[in-house]
């Protein structure tokens, strides 16, 4: 018997102007997946879920439908077909969910990434992290119906991740500036990705598109040259944020509070409802977090919000036990 | 009496995916502007054009209408209003145009930039190059009706230049990878910027826009990390190139020839008709140039084309005499 626990942290997709092509990982919070290898087969599938904590019973227990076990099944298929590793035993999976569902924090991607590094370790790390990204993306299809990579890739790889193309998959890792801190505010409401996607326009003006890709180019430049001022000026989303902000009660007040407290920039985390801000030190990021929490709680319909302060995660999904 | 000659080289706007926000300068060819300072006023304006060579008589001789003299007038106004420098003499301007008009090679921007560095030197360099960029952009309004910066800024500053925003103007210089070479092919036809702009769509699908900004982010990453493969993969323009390519006879054959000869990527220079390709050495760039010239000349209606091979210009507009 062999037991391994993997951990993968929250990730934030889009990053203002980088709609659908950019994401990054923070260091905490994150999901934990413990895999236990049994030598003998058990049941129909080579993987079964023995426990899930922290989801309030919302996630499927069927190993084919839960993201964390689904990606392990895909991983085992790949080992057989590509690496010539035949597995005739059984894997028990325990999932400890620390990330809220439908939060814009990459909850499903974190579970998938944690499960994948654990599975990879059980077999002696036969796959590279970039190989694991492919399975994590497949997991997103199970979790939310479309195979997006802007949470899945940073959940596995850490850092900022740019998805240049899906066909073929072309994923580029961008290391973060040393003093870049993220403040993440998660108000206690849920917002379904599919609904947040339905409010987006199908076409945009060329002028607006040009403005957006000017900011994308500038944001990447800011990240790669540690130009914090440029990062701040580039965190502008003229496409998705104006449509999605009305779905998040208090968005404008919270953003204003973050900027007033010294944040470089602030926008919606993924498709929301969480809101992220960047700062150039932990001290400022902490002040920003207090200001964001205060802004959520002082609305007419006060919202409770969880606040996390974190540097950018550089190592991605990892073994913790 | 005091005489100074400025030089500014050809620039290439758009750079495939970077429509309207990206440009770069090559080292040659370029325009030359010689300014002669006379102590006494002469005529109504403080600047007059005494000669233009190389334009076939196409450019205006009126100092208010010619880009090169217009930007010097703007520069003098700025010296008076902002720097407290009153000029009561006269400046004679000689323009030697080496760049073809309506070629996609930033011809008007080169004349403006050359004039501006010369004028600045005449007065002891009171302005920074970034200040000069503002006048060069104003010159584009006179030359082609809109104040675009994707030729004007690199003509003055050299390197790659990203225009994040026009209001306020936010211009970011990106140094080129050491071994990046440009092959520029200029077929002997003219294509008016205004016409090439009229064929563009006013709206594009969000999917297409997302693909474009994924490539913009990747191209900037490739440039800043000297990842030549990534630069090549990112030189994709799904927005303007498909609409403008049919305006350039032989575009697809020339692009195919460039790529087959080893170019990293190839697209339309500015709004055309010139075509540029990037290579990772001078040797490859030279082969690419031969292949592009051959492709133009072997079309049913053979086109002559000038070919230039050049590294990226790092110093921008400069004094040569």
Q: Which residues on B lie below 8 Å from A159 (Cβ)?
A: none
Q: What is the pLDDT of residue B318?
A: 98
Q: Do residue A190 and residue A159 come from a single domain?
A: no
| Residue A317, domain member (yes or no) | no
Q: What is the pLDDT of residue B1?
A: 55
CATH number of the domain residue B204 falls in: 3.30.70.890
Compute the mean pLDDT over every residue in chain B, rounded to the nearest whole number. 96
| Residue B29, domain member (yes or no) | yes
Q: What is the pLDDT of residue B36?
A: 97
Q: What angle do CA B139, B140, B142 make, to 5 degrees?
A: 65
d(CA A189, CA B126): 57
d(CA A59, CA A115): 15
Instruction: Name the band, by pLDDT with cuts 50, 70 and 90, for residue B104.
Output: confident
If DSSP states are collapsed to H, E and C, what string results for B254-297?
HHHHHHHCCCCEEEECCCCCCEEEEECCHHHHHHHHHHHHHHHH
Instruction: Name the band, by pLDDT with cuts 50, 70 and 90, for residue B161.
Output: very high
- All residues at 6 or more sequence positions from B217 whose CB lies less than 8 Å from its CB, including other chains: A18, A21, A22, A162, A164, A216, A217, A219, A220
Instruction: Name the band, by pLDDT with cuts 50, 70 and 90, for residue A259.
Output: very high
Q: Do residue A275 and residue A155 come from a single domain?
A: no
Q: Do residue A40 and residue A89 come from a single domain?
A: yes
Closest-approach residue (CA) in chain A for B206: A203
Phi-psi domain of A147 (left: phi exceeds 0; alpha: psi -120 through 50; beta: other): beta
Q: Do residue B33 and residue B147 come from a single domain?
A: yes
Q: Which residues on B lie below 8 Å from A15 (Cβ)?
A: none
Q: Which residues on B lie below 8 Å from A201 (Cβ)?
A: 206
Instruction: Name the band, by pLDDT with cuts 50, 70 and 90, for residue A65.
Output: very high
Q: What is the pLDDT of residue B2?
A: 92
The range of the structural domain enclosing residue A153 comes to 2-175
| Residue A53, domain member (yes or no) | yes
Annotated binding residue B106: yes
Interface of B with A (CB under 8 A): 17-22, 162-165, 170, 172, 174, 200-206, 209-221, 224-225, 230, 233-234, 239
| CB spacing of B214 vs A162 below 8 angstroms | yes
Mean pLDDT of B80-109: 94
Instruction: Name the band, by pLDDT with cuts 50, 70 and 90, for residue A192.
Output: confident
Strands (E), chain B: 2-13, 22-38, 47-53, 90-96, 160-166, 169-174, 181-187, 203-205, 265-268, 275-279, 305-311, 318-319
Residue A234 has pLDDT above 80, yes or no: yes
Residue A1 has pLDDT above 60, yes or no: no
Q: Which residue has the higher pLDDT, A144 or A313?
A: A313
Annotated binding residue A101: yes
d(CA B290, CA A265): 48
Q: What is the pLDDT of residue A147?
A: 79
Annotated binding residue B147: no
Q: Do residue B121 and residue B261 come from a single domain?
A: no
Query: CA dist B29 to B7, B14, B113, B310, B311, Å?
Result: 10, 19, 14, 9, 12
Picking from B162, B201, B218, the nearest residue to A218 by CB comes out as B162
Q: Which residues on A lie below 8 Å from B225 (Cβ)?
A: 224
| Residue A321, domain member (yes or no) | no
Q: What angle do CA A169, A173, A177 make, to 5 degrees?
A: 155
Q: Which residues on A lie below 8 Å from B211 (Cβ)?
A: 165
**Of A154, A175, A196, which closes a domain?**
A175
| CB spacing of A214 vs B19 below 8 angstroms | no
Q: What is the pLDDT of residue B191?
A: 87
pLDDT, tens digit, for every residue of B292-321?
Answer: 999 999 998 899 999 999 999 999 999 997
Q: What is the pLDDT of residue A145?
A: 76
pLDDT, tens digit, for every residue of B166-185?
Answer: 989 999 999 999 999 999 99
| CB spacing of A204 vs B202 below 8 angstroms | no
Instruction: Name the band, by pLDDT with cuts 50, 70 and 90, for residue A321.
Output: confident
Q: Do residue A169 and residue A276 come from a single domain?
A: no
| CB spacing of B18 vs A172 below 8 angstroms | no
What stretches of A123-200 show up as alpha helix (H) in DSSP? 129-144, 152-157, 193-198
State the best of A23, A149, A165, A214 to mutate against chain B, taking most chain B CBs within 10 Å: A214
**Domain total for chain B?**
2
| CB spacing of B20 vs A210 below 8 angstroms | yes
| Residue B320, domain member (yes or no) | no
Residue B4 has pLDDT above 80, yes or no: yes
Picking from A172, A200, A205, the nearest residue to B218 by CB comes out as A172
Residue A102 has pLDDT above 90, yes or no: no
**Of A175, A193, A219, which closes a domain?**
A175
Q: Do residue B122 and residue B200 come from a single domain?
A: no
Beta-carbon-side half-sphere exposure of residue A310 (alpha carbons within 13 Å): 21
Cβ atoms of residues B233 and B218 within 8 Å: yes
Q: Do residue A39 and residue A62 come from a single domain?
A: yes
Annotated binding residue B263: no
Shortest distance between the Cα of A119 and any Cα of chain B, in A, equals 31
Q: Do residue B131 and residue B243 come from a single domain?
A: no
| Residue B17, domain member (yes or no) | yes
Q: What is the pLDDT of residue B144?
A: 77
Residue A262, both tokens: 């010294």
Q: Do residue A208 and residue A96 come from a single domain?
A: no
Interface of A with B (CB under 8 A): 17-22, 162-165, 170, 172, 174, 200-206, 209-221, 224-225, 230, 233-234, 239
Q: Do residue A169 and residue A231 come from a single domain?
A: no
Shortest distance between the Cα of B318 and any Cα of chain A, in A, equals 26
| CB spacing of B18 vs A211 below 8 angstroms | no
| CB spacing of A221 vs B21 below 8 angstroms | no
Instruction: Tell me if the bond preceding A25 is cis, omega within 30° of 0.
Output: no
- If you count residue pairs, one on A and one on B, with CB atoms under 8 Å apart, how many are there? 120
Annotated binding residue B187: no
- Say if residue B300 is exposed, middle or buried (CB neighbours under 10 Å; 0-12, 13-18, 19+): exposed
State the best of A14, A162, A164 to mutate against chain B, taking most chain B CBs within 10 Å: A164
Mean pLDDT of B254-282: 97
**Of A138, A155, A175, which closes a domain?**
A175
pLDDT, tens digit, for every residue of A165-178?
Answer: 998 999 999 999 99
Shortest distance between the Cα of A270 and any Cα of chain B, in A, equals 15
Q: What is the pLDDT of residue A48?
A: 97
Closest-approach residue (CA) in chain A for B234: A164
Annotated binding residue B54: no
| Residue A84, domain member (yes or no) | yes
Mean pLDDT of A281-302: 96
| CB spacing of B212 vs A211 below 8 angstroms | no
| CB spacing of B218 vs A164 below 8 angstroms | yes
Kindly give the interhelix angle for B67-83 and B107-122, rounded to the nearest 10 degrees.
Answer: 40
| Residue B302, domain member (yes or no) | yes
Strand B318-319 to B265-268 pairing: unpaired
Q: Do residue B273 and residue B131 come from a single domain?
A: no
CATH number of the domain residue A59 falls in: 3.30.230.10
């Amino acid at each position: 018997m062999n037991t391994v626990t993997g951990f993968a942290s929250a990730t934030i997709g889009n990053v203002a102007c980088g709609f659908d092509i950019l994401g990054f990982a923070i260091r905490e919070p994150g999901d934990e997946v413990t895999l236990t290898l049994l030598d003998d087969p058990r049941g129909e599938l080579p993987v079964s879920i023995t426990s899930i904590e922290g989801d309030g019973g919302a996630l499927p227990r069927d190993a084919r439908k839960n993201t964390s076990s689904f990606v392990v099944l895909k991983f085992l298929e790949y080992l057989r077909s590509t690496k010539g590793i035949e597995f005739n035993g059984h894997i028990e999976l325990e999932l400890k969910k620390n990330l809220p569902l439908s939060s814009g924090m990459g909850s499903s991607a974190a579970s998938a990434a944690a499960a994948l590094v654990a599975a990879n370790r059980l077999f002696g790390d036969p796959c590279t992290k970039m190989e694991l990204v492919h399975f994590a993306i497949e997991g997103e299809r199970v979790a939310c119906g479309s195979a997006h990579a802007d949470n899945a890739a940073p959940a596995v790889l850490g850092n900022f991740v740019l998805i240049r193309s899906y066909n073929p998959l072309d994923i580029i890792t961008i290391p973060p500036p040393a003093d870049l801190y993220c403040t993440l505010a998660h108000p206690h409401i849920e917002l379904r990705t599919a609904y947040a996607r339905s409010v987006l326009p199908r076409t945009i003006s060329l002028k607006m598109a040009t403005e957006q890709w000017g900011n994308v180019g500038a944001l990447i430049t800011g990240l790669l040259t540690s130009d914090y001022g440029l990062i701040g000026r580039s965190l502008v989303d003229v496409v998705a944020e104006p449509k999605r902000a009305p779905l998040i009660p208090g968005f404008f007040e919270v953003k204003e509070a973050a900027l007033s407290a010294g944040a470089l920039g602030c926008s919606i985390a993924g498709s929301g409802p969480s809101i992220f801000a960047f700062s150039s030190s932990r001290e400022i990021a902490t002040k920003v977090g207090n200001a964001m929490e205060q802004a959520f709680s002082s609305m007419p319909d006060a919202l409770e919000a969880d606040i996390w302060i974190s540097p950018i995660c550089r190592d991605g999904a990892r073994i913790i036990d």
